[in-house]
Amino acid sequence: MILSLAFSFLFLFLGAAFWWILDAKQRKLLPPGPRGLPIVGSLLNLGSLPHRTFHELSKKYGPIMSLRMGSVPSIVVSSPEAAQLFLKTHDSAFAARPQMEAVAHMSYGNNGISFTNGTYWRHVRKFVVQELLAPAKVNSFRGMRRDEVGLVVEEIKKAAVAGEVVNVSDKVGGLIENMTFRFLLGRSKDDRFDLKGIMTEAFTLAGQFNLADFVPSLKPLDLQGLTRKYKETGKKLDAMLELIIEEHEQNLNTGTRTNNRDIVDEMISLSKNDSSVNHQELAKLIDRSSIKSIMIDIITAAIDTSFTLIEWILTELMRHPRAMKKCQEELTCVVGLDRLVEETDLPKLEYLYMVIKEGMRLHPIVPLLGPHEAKEDIVVNGYHIPQKSRIIVNAWAIGRDSKVWGNNALEFIPERFSESKIDLRGRDFELLPFGSGRRGCPGMQLGLLSVQLVLAQLLHCFDWELPHGKSAEDMDMTEQFGLTIPRIEHLLLVPKLRI
């Protein structure tokens, strides 16, 4: 009896010792990082601008850093070399997305593109890239974009003649919304329902920090009341999207659609298996929830990104009048002063493209890219990355890395791109505003086109001044963290007619 007790004790002791050594070994192999508190980990130390906090921490712990956010092991990546390891060398291992509560309740869970995984996501993404956002489809809406930009130019002209201050943030935000809605739904404004209003409500909720995403055991308690709000907003959103789809179905059935087929038309055709043979597999999988979820994903991904970027770039140009002047001189040279900018002019505007790259370097609108998740246990650069780790690529920190960008990394100098071959399309890991690899942005062509077109038109048609009594030094450059990082203040400017 005593002997068997002794054996059991020895067995337990050896087991515990083995587990302790293994765990310590695994802990040791994790990338370096702050230890954090029990249960919450480092969550309480992230501050209101986590990209800046991660940047500071990475100076101490290095470009591959580990920390715990609640119970979620997280890896923060902060150099081009490290980003290449996660987004190219081991891209397939990190191409998953974590499941988030906001998506589950407001965007039909696993049915869209931005937060789905596996085979379904591969099929949806292929369809979105090859059909919905293909260059031919984007180009077929050129006339629509010309009309929408033209309307805003006319409004600003009136303000210029009257010498009024223009809220450029509101004007550009409205313009990008209208262009996106016409591309997606075939119409910009609809008095019967307030899709813009409800989407703003959903954005605001989705941008709030939800503790339950990081400490799942707290989910049933709904401590912040967010689950209840997600459900309420999700319900309102669903009713509107249903109405939009029904209308599109009727138009398709009765053949009353006269203009270009919009994105919702394309998705309905696919779900009814009327689409091309390329997407037969997806046609079997896609249903009404998928259509609604993809609509939400496109609205979310397209509007705030493009609009926020234009706002930041105009702000930088106001602070750097020499760069503004160079853009306008280029426009005069390429376009002249007796007509508006056309999309076909854009590839010739090389300096404007440098300004956009520099704007995206200093203000990557999605500073931490989308959240990636490790599909399995994997070793990267000698470090153990546990399955289900959250991978956070700090594009904001990479864009400010003085080892890459030199001692003037924090200054706005578009000319740095006249010598450099670094581009922003995801091949160069020094500049990642659209991400890279399997999860890289599929709307990059449309996003860039909208940003180039709107900026070119605003700089070509108008000179811009700050309201009386304000100077460039007064411009508040504070960021606000959410789904994107806009400037905390709206951009208010006085336009003067230029052409």
Cα→Cα distances 200→240, 303, 320, Å: 14, 11, 32
Query: Taking contact as CB under 6 A, which single stretch among the options 3-11, 37-45, 225-233, 295-303 is the one that binds ligand HEM?
Result: 295-303
Separation CA 451–CA 459 (nearest Å): 12
Binding-site size, ligand HEM (CB under 6 A): 26
Residue type, 324: M
Cβ-defined contacts of 170-177 (< 8 Å, 24+): 170/490, 172/307, 172/310, 172/311, 172/454, 172/458, 173/303, 173/307, 175/148, 175/149, 175/454, 176/302, 176/303, 176/306, 176/307, 176/310, 176/450, 176/454, 177/303, 177/307
Q: How many CB atoms neighbour CB 77 within 10 A?
A: 31
Asked if 443 is part of the footprint of ligand HEM (rule: CB under 6 A), the reply reads yes
Residues 92-121: x where in contact with ligand HEM by CB under 6 A, - otherwise, as a string: ---------------------xx-------
Asked if 370 is part of the footprint of ligand HEM (rule: CB under 6 A), the reply reads yes
Structure tokens at 109: 């869970």
* Residue 327 near residue 351, CB atoms below 8 Å: yes
Q: Which of 271, 275, 305, 394 binds ligand HEM (CB under 6 A)?
A: 305
Minimum separation from the CB atom of position 471 to ligand HEM (A) = 29
Asked if 369 is part of the footprint of ligand HEM (rule: CB under 6 A), the reply reads yes
Q: Which is nearer to ligand HEM, 340 or 444 (CB)?
A: 444
Asked if 268 is part of the footprint of ligand HEM (rule: CB under 6 A), the reply reads no
Q: Could you tell me which of 433, 423, 402 has the C-alpha nearest to residue 354?
A: 423
At residue 494, the 3 state secondary structure works out as strand
Q: Which of 226, 264, 267, 298 binds ligand HEM (CB under 6 A)?
A: 298
Q: Which is nearer to ligand HEM, 244 or 298 (CB)?
A: 298
Minimum separation from the CB atom of position 127 to ligand HEM (A) = 11
Query: Taking contact as CB under 6 A, which single stretch among the options 49-57, 251-259, 414-422, 436-444 is the one that binds ligand HEM?
Result: 436-444
Ordered DSSP codes for 442-474: TTHHHHHHHHHHHHHHHHHHEEEEPPTT--GGG
Q: Which is nearer to ligand HEM, 366 or 494 (CB)?
A: 366
Q: Which is nearer to ligand HEM, 215 or 309 (CB)?
A: 309
List the beta bridge partners of residue 380. 383
Asked if 495 is part of the footprint of ligand HEM (rule: CB under 6 A), the reply reads no
* Residue 126 near residue 279, CB atoms below 8 Å: yes
Length of the chain: 499
Asked if 352 is part of the footprint of ligand HEM (rule: CB under 6 A), the reply reads no
Backbone φ, ψ for residue 212 (5° rounding): -65, -20
Query: Taking contact as CB under 6 A, which single stretch among the options 161-169, 341-349, 432-440, 455-463 is the one that binds ligand HEM?
Result: 432-440
Minimum separation from the CB atom of position 298 to ligand HEM (A) = 5
* Residue 271 near residue 286, CB atoms below 8 Å: yes
Asked if 31 is part of the footprint of ligand HEM (rule: CB under 6 A), the reply reads no
Q: Which of 46, 103, 331, 366 binds ligand HEM (CB under 6 A)?
A: 366
Give the nearest residue (CB) to ligand HEM. Answer: 443
Q: What is the largest CA-CA distance in the chain?
A: 102
Q: Which of 76, 302, 314, 318 binds ligand HEM (CB under 6 A)?
A: 302
Asked if 354 is part of the footprint of ligand HEM (rule: CB under 6 A), the reply reads no
Segment 129-158, which members bind ligand HEM (CB under 6 A)?
133
Asked if 454 is part of the footprint of ligand HEM (rule: CB under 6 A), the reply reads no
Separation CA 386–CA 75 (nearest Å): 10
Asked if 227 is part of the footprint of ligand HEM (rule: CB under 6 A), the reply reads no
Q: How many CB atoms neighbour CB 349 within 10 A?
A: 23
By CB under 6 A, name the binding residues for ligand HEM. Answer: 113-114, 125, 133, 297-298, 301-302, 305-306, 309, 365-366, 369-370, 433-435, 439-443, 446-447, 451
